[in-house]
Amino acid sequence: MLLGWMISGALMYAIIPGLEFLPALVVAAGVTPTDPILASSVVGKGKFAQEHVPAHIRHLLQAESGSNDGAAFPFLVRPFLLVIGNSEGLTFESA
């Protein structure tokens, strides 16, 4: 996942004119896949998966999928906070 995030960030940085690298990493964190496509077809409610893949395996894949999504959180938050920290004059005020 880390490699995919870095490659996506580098591609965004190279393709989008005027985009700095840290904002490119923020955007890349949103588009980098956390699960292989194969897992979605096995976990899904398809007829083949329900007939040939035991329920406990499908449930384990769902749990692993959720943990992958949770593991992606630092890849979004860290560059986002770095972008916020590098912005001058940006303050957070409570309402």
Structure-model confidence comparison of residues 55 and 41, the more confident one: 55
In this predicted model, what pLDDT tens digit does every residue of 18-31 receive, in sequence order?
A: 888 888 888 888 78
In this predicted model, what pLDDT tens digit does every residue of 51-94 receive, in sequence order?
A: 777 878 777 877 777 776 677 777 777 777 777 776 555 555 54
- Whole-prediction pTM: 0.52
For residue 95, name the pLDDT band (cuts at 50, 70, 90): very low
Q: Give the pLDDT mean for 31-54.
A: 68
> Scanning the structure block, which residue is given the tokens 């007829």?
47
CA-to-CA distance for 2 and 90, rounded, in angstroms?
29
3-state secondary structure of 30: helix
C-alpha distances (whole Å) from 62 to each of 44, 56, 59 are 9, 10, 5
